[in-house]
Amino acid sequence: MAQQALPVREARLGRPRGTAGDGGARAALRWKGGGRGAGPVNGVALLLPEGGPAGVRRPSPLSALAVRRLAVRLAKAGRPEGLTAHVLRYRGGGGSDPSDHPARDATWALDEIVRRYGDVPVCLVGTGMGARAALHAAGHPAVHSVLAIAPWFPDPAPQDTAPDPVKQLIGRQVLLVHGTNDEHTDPDLSYRYAERAKKVNRDTCRFEVHSDGHSLHQHRAEVLALAADFMLGSLFSRDYARPVKDALAAPPPLGLRMPLASGFGASLRH
């Protein structure tokens, strides 16, 4: 008797956090229905969590919890500006390309955000394989910025002739952040990617979190503050903190190896 394949779960957006989660859903429905009235959702943070094996399965409970905490932090920081945050839930299934399903799921999610909220700017926020998917999906017209946290890139093989693309980043604000002691994703590979991205898009920078690992647990408060500062500046034209301004303006390698200082964003924490 032939085995029946398990059904592939569809990608979906997690519940809105922030403006739409606090009563903005009706306005979102008015947008979807073609209404002209201004709604409270003025920007969206789309969070792409770590992938599982092969980068295409749902994230582990720990990584899902971590990205939900980040979504809550970003939603809280962007509430006065009208921000809504969604966590993307990947489809199930398998695949050989670690970025294939997450990147396609991200593109689907961006289309869905446009359908729900209209022409609002989006910041893609990804971790690990989700960060790589965010960078791949950055060419979508709704994307204004990309935050890649501890991004995963495959080890380059001698026969590789097509490295991860960077031209889709042109016109976007891009920030990568990586722990120097990351035991899961090679920080040198993210530096090399950022170096290539900077050549085509000057609005690219990268921060290093010295002595921290993949989860960035030791400096979580600083990383969360950096994420909020970058998101608010890239979506709503707020002034960036001085270190972010300096990193964007500095040429390589300085602007791509900017140390994340202890206490960054302390005045913004609650």
- Kindly tell me if the per-residue pLDDT of 96 is higher than 70: no
For residue 16, cis peptide bond before it (omega within 30 degrees of 0): no
State what percent of residues in the chain have pLDDT above 70: 78
Residue pair 187/178 in contact (Cβ under 8 Å)? The answer is yes
Q: For residues 3-24, give the mean pLDDT.
A: 68
C-alpha–C-alpha distance, residues 174 and 191, integer Å: 13
- Kindly tell me if the per-residue pLDDT of 16 is higher than 70: yes
Q: Which CATH class is domain 12-19+40-154+166-262?
A: alpha beta
Q: For residues 209-217, give the mean pLDDT.
A: 89
Tell me the whole-structure pTM to 2 decimals: 0.86
pLDDT for 13 equals: 92
Q: Based on DSSP, count helices (H) and strands (E) in the chain, helices before strands.
A: 7, 9
Work out the mean pLDDT of the chain and round it to a whole number: 84
- Distances, alpha carbon 110 to alpha carbons 66, 103, 134, 242, 258, in Å: 22, 11, 11, 30, 30
- Kindly tell me if the per-residue pLDDT of 167 is higher than 50: yes
Question: Within 10 Å of residue 198's Cβ, how many Cβ atoms?
Answer: 23
